[in-house]
Structure 1
Amino acid sequence: MRPVIRQLDDSAINRIAAGEVVERPASAVKELLENAIDAGARRVTVEVADGGKTLIRVTDDGCGMAPDELSLALSRHATSKIDGSDLLNIHSFGFRGEALPSLGAVGRLTIQSRAPGGEAAELSVAGGQAGAVKPCALNAGTVVTLRDLFHATPARLKFLRSDRAEMMAISEVVKRLAMAEPSVGFTLRDVSEGRDRVSFRADPATGDLFDALRARMAQVMGAEFTDNALGVDAEREGIRLTGLAALPTYSRGSSTAQHLFVNGRPVRDKLLMGALRGAYADYLSRERHPAVALFVDCDPHKVDVNVHPAKSEVRFREPGIVRGLIVSALRHALAEAGHRASTTVAGATLGAMRPEAPAGAMRSEAPLGAPPEAPSQPRVYQMERPSAGARQAAYRAQAPAPGFAEMAGAYSARVVEDMPEAPEHGGRPRPLPLGAARGQVHENYIVAQTADGMVIVDQHAAHERLVYEKLKRQMAENGVAAQALLIPEIVELSADDVSRLMEISDDLSRMGLTIEPFGGGALAVRETPAILGEVNAKALLHDVLDELSDFGSSQLVQERIEAILSRVACHGSVRSGRRMRAEEMNALLREMEATPHSGQCNHGRPTYVELKLADIERLFGRT
């Protein structure tokens, strides 16, 4: 039988459209929060029960709506955000006019709103069927209540995860929008089973751009992130990049701490993720991910946000400029950080050095089933610091007895007797951030004394980074040497793949990989980077194509060259187990201070640990 074309009713159309806009409770929260922010709200409260399955209520103090606008707000493609004349000139979160009718089609929706100087009104809709507008009690703003989500499409409920998982997804949505709008206050409450627990709260942040951003990031991502993040502010051809990027030693095992925004809109864009990966590629191994909060701002006509119903993807008119801006700005910020490492390194070191309870302190006398006793706290000594003369007298009295020096050969440690003087800088001693070497432990770790603490340096990891940076500078100055193939290697590819590779052929040529079209779906590889030695050109090109598909760009050739340089640096650096003279150790410290990125090795691990004197005293209970 020939199928008959028929017009679907409005209820079915709304349920189909809701499947694109509202995938889970977090999607509903996102749409309602964006409406509240677009309405000019300064404070927004989100109440959720059972992971959003039974209740989602969003209350804001925005401009509100007049009674005669409520019915229109529930009509499809009705919006106050745009007039339809220019679909690229978008300055708001929402613009499609699909959220409210979609929510009303799959749940029980109630809207209460009051515009300034007007009367409060209420409208309810269930399963796509709207009731009558009636008066209600409300001071100002809008309250949107969504109950029994997906009750009209019960099959969709089977695809939802547990209440806890859905609540975590909602919390992530609220936090991402809170990062996008530091001047707006957000509160998330869990009201499941009659309780009222605040899951997240962020008060409005004040101050200039970076002060407000740092304050909000501290509320959302924690103070550790802001303490170890670098400010980024760069502009190129009308596109501006601002935000915070963490030091490489403050990295994560997944990409959950990467937050990217375009014109204030949270996005998950593969072009931006690829640029971020490329910027940190030289400082982190592939299994580690940087933590960032970056904001790309540009003319709305240079970016298309009308790509996906969820508006989580964007398309730039000039993607190369955006990618280049992100890579160059982040690398410049990381270079300015110099030898700095994250403060979490010292915190982890102190945690590993906490004294354990003595073995004889087991509480065997405690009755069975009794709660464990709190560990005894170290005694706090309240003592004043002795004078310099008193310390010298004490040191002489505590000098080791004759014969102690004979045992030195049995231990892998040496002590540098004299501290070198800091070189003059403008008539005054130049500060030494990494201090002066005082000894070497196990022929691998340099112990240095700073003005207010001590530094422990991994001599091999530190020197490896220094040699690596030197090799990179030489390569940048002299270029990548290319090895011409006696017989060009012909690689068969699809026409689309050939086109994609030829678009980046100039970039590949600068890395020593020269390719040319060979007719049809084939490429001729004429030169390969000499430092890579014998290369499987076909496998290399396929790997480059995979990166282009995943991230929109490819740094594979450059990464392989840098991996070779890294291995060369590893073999050419100071080896573990080598005894170093005092002048060698101090020369290494001075070179670390003068070399960018020396705070982490080629794999993203820290090259040194710094402990402040207060931290050391706390270890011994001298607080």
Structure 2
Amino acid sequence: MSHTDPSQHRIHALDPRLINQIAAGEIIERPASMLKELIENALDAGATAIDVDVDNAGVKRLKISDNGHGILRQDLAMALSRHATSKIQDLQDLEQIATLGFRGEALPSIASVTRMTIQSRERGAEQGWMVSSDGNNLTTEPTPVAHPVGTTIETRDLFYNTPARRKFLRTDATEFKHLDQIVRRMALSRFDVAFKLSHNGKVVLHLPSVPADDPRRLKMVCGDNVPENSVYFTEQREDMRLSGWAGLPSFSRSQADMQYFFLNGRLIRDKTIVHAVRLGYQDVLFHGRHPVYVLYLEMDPARVDVNVHPTKHEVRFRESGAVHSFVFRSLQRVMSSSAGEVGSLQVDAQHGAASPKPQTSYTAPEQITEQRPFNYAQAPVSHAQASERMSPDAVREQIAGYQQIADSVFRPDPGVTSPEIPKADTHADGTIPPLGYALGQLKGIYILAENEKGLVLVDMHAAHERITYERLKTGMEGAAIRQQPLLVPVTIQVSDNEIQAWRSQQTLFDQLGLEVEQIDENVLVVRSVPDLLAKADVSQLVRDVLSDLVADEHSDRIQETMHEILSSMACHGSVRANRQLSIPEMNALLRDMEITERSGQCNHGRPTWVQMSLGQLDSWFKRGQ
């Protein structure tokens, strides 16, 4: 019978080299993650220019140079020691971190899996100094070297001493794509810093510094068409400031691959922020599509904990509810613009409705999804539109209740004298409204109008549907939600966490017209629901709401369900295709679009109008060529 050697179970201190390699496993996944840490150090050092030069996608060699304040001679060796940093001094600093790096693990972790050389010269010093490390925690003494003010770090042979990890690296093309993405993300975080990226001796990306709100950096990183299809905004509330570019709903993506959110200069991916952004785009985004945005949130560092993950991508807000509300309300305001304030769909002269394309030759083809011009005939049929296939009698019966909604746009109040709609050349103050004046109707579907820029095409059913929907929502929000008692109250068995969520959010249920009581330790009973939800699956709806509250502390399922019903009502109550409108009726619809929130998209997220400039029309007909 064999016996295990007791000495194998003794607790012992790990070898320093092994400690660093374990830390590297948490931080260094590939050359791109190594580059991220080094760029963060350069930015923390006050650099205004950062050059990155790599061979074989950074596996063979990665060199980064900056013009920051440099490192003292006596601190060079210390920089390669674990938990050695210049960025925090005590616990108070840890609770209000204002730098990108602070753990003191990046350099020693990188040095443990590469052959590293550091050259640096502090501002005011007569010469620079160099140290090197061979991956075995053997660091040379500093030697003098000619070097400009700043720091240069060069690594060679990534994972040369951990061959098992090297096998997980991808092809050079894939690894360089990740490097390129890191540089672009960092470049978006700091417009005032110049970046240059070279691969195998060839300059791939050169981004000069520009002012913080200059769209040129956005064009160079994300694509020429991103700024013109986005709304730049700034919102301030107490000690929080949100700014940046929010992409138009029609300028969306099939993947969430062009979404950048920076918190105090740090790129993060936080579930509170993701939910708030999604809520901000609610009601305007086509189903299954993802918005494009580059947003910057600035707030007191003491109100956020960035020390919750080794790579610092995840954060924890001390007041997540306040942050969520601020981001959501800010984006909701931007997306609530009327058709007179912001465009609906930009058309490229050669390729139709353009989608955002990163300006890089290394972007994989599958990452680019072209957004083709909207085709009314081929559009997916929603639950509301499917009713058009019902029998004529069924349709007439369903529409009868909503007909007065449709008539409200085109039929003025009998007691009010409606002025004659002026022609474009006889406007009272000499200006032309944003959507211009109607010229005619095409196939009973589209309105053609002329404005200052050129030609406007309007999908009249989609536009009227949005107008009607917004009026229904305003009417519902302006009046107290009417409750309908259930003939048979619905009993729901819930968990301890769900009971706690219900107790903490009882006012939310009351505001939304749900009368819910606790009748046992883990039992809730629903006695009344809003009129609009009388036929809904009440038990499942309440369970979903409680699940949202447990997971995210937020839930908008009840509002979404009621809005879906209003959307269906608006769809049936809107002017149908093939209805012939008079010129005054068309102009009345255009004027309503200009004063209605979110009228650039219908209730299903499709664009309601498109602008074609004279320049685009000239290019199509080759005028002046």
1:5 aligns with 2:14: no
CA offsets, 1:162-189, max 9 Å, x none? Answer: 3222222222211111111111001111
C-alpha displacement of 1:530: 2.2
**Matched residue, 1:406:** none
Alignment of 1:583-598 (within 5 A): 583-598=584-599
Whether the 8 Å CA contact 2:345–2:609 is kept in 1: the answer is: no
* Equivalent runs, 1:414-563 vs 2, <5 Å: 420-421=422-423, 428-545=429-546, 547-548=548-549, 553-563=554-564
Alignment of 1:162-561 (within 5 A): 162-191=171-200, 196-206=201-211, 209-210=212-213, 212=214, 214-336=215-337, 338-339=339-340, 342=343, 345-347=346-348, 351=351, 420-421=422-423, 428-545=429-546, 547-548=548-549, 553-561=554-562
Q: Normalization by structure 1: what TM-score? A: 0.83
Alignment-mate amino acid for residue 130 of structure 2: E
**Matched residue pairs, number?**
549
Task: Tell me the residue number matched to 1:110.
Answer: 117
SS at match of 2:140: coil
Change over 3 Å in CA distance of 1:344–1:600 after alignment to 2:
closer
Give the counterpart letter for 1:73 in structure 2: A
Measured after TM superposition, the shift of residue 422 of structure 1 is 5.3
Match of 2:417 in 1: none
Give the Å deviation of 1:440: 1.2
* Structure 2 length-normalised TM: 0.83
Look up the match of 1:356: none
Q: Secondary structure at the match of 2:516?
A: strand
Q: Deviations over 1:400-420 (max 9, x none)?
A: xxxxxxxxxxxxxxxxxx994
Q: Which residue of 2 aligns with 1:373?
A: none
Contact 1:302 1:317 in 2 (8 A): yes
Identity level (%): 40
168-177 or 541-550, which moves further after superposition?
Answer: 541-550
Note if contact 2:344-2:607 (Cα within 8 Å) is conserved in structure 1.
no
Match of residue 88 from structure 2: 82
Question: Is residue 505–residue 514 contact of structure 1 (8 Å, CA) maintained in 2?
Answer: no
Structure 2: tracts of 5 or more residues without a match: 354-419
Q: Gapped runs of 5+ residues in structure 1? A: 354-417
For the 8 Å contact 2:286–2:606, the answer to whether it is kept is: no
Match of 1:98 in 2: 105
**Is the CA contact 1:224–1:344 (under 8 Å) kept in the aligned structure 2?**
no
Answer yes or no: is the 8 Å Cα contact 2:456–2:611 preserved in 1: yes
Q: 1:92 Cα deviation (Å)?
A: 0.8
**For 1:40, which of 38, 43, 46 is the aligned residue?**
46
1:588 partner SS:
helix
Partner in structure 2 of residue 385 of structure 1: none
User: Superposition RMSD on alpha carbons, in Å?
Assistant: 2.3
Cα deviation code 1:375-434 (max 9, x no counterpart): xxxxxxxxxxxxxxxxxxxxxxxxxxxxxxxxxxxxxxxxxxx99425988x52452221
Q: Give the C-alpha shift of residue 266 in structure 1.
A: 0.8
Q: Which amino acid aligns with 1:63?
A: H
Conserved in 2, the CA contact under 8 Å of 1:42 and 1:185? yes
Inter-CA distance 490–159: structure 2 relative to 1 (3 Å threshold): farther
Matching residue of 2:130: 122
C-alpha separation in 2, matches of 1:505 and 1:168:
49
Paired with 2:17 and 2:453, the residues of 1 have a C-alpha distance of 71
For 2:345 and 2:53, how far apart are their aligned partners in 1? Answer: 35
Q: Which amino acid aligns with 1:114?
A: R
Structure 2 residue aligned with 1:152: 161
Query: What is the alpha-carbon distance in structure 1 between the residues aligned to residue 17 and residue 170 of structure 2?
Result: 26
Cα deviation digits, residues 472-502 of structure 1 (max 9, x gap): 1111101433333233322222212332344
Equivalent pair of 1:78/1:97 in contact (CA under 8 Å): yes
Aligned mates of 2:592, 2:480 — CA distance in 1: 24
Counterparts of 1:527 and 1:311, CA distance in 2: 46
Q: Deviations over 1:327-368 (max 9, x none)?
A: 1111222234544554753227x5359xxxxxxxxxxxxxxx
- Residues 424 and 328 of structure 1: is their aligned pair in 2 closer, same or farther, counting only changes over 3 Å? farther
Aligned mates of 1:343, 1:592 — CA distance in 2:
11
- Asked whether the equivalents of residues 243 and 293 of structure 1 are also in contact (C-alpha less than 8 Å), the reply is yes
Q: How does 1:51-70 map to 2 (within 5 A)?
A: 51-70=57-76
Relative distance call for 1:599 and 1:541 in structure 2 (3 A) is same
Cα gap change, 1:541 to 1:171, in 2 (>3 Å): farther
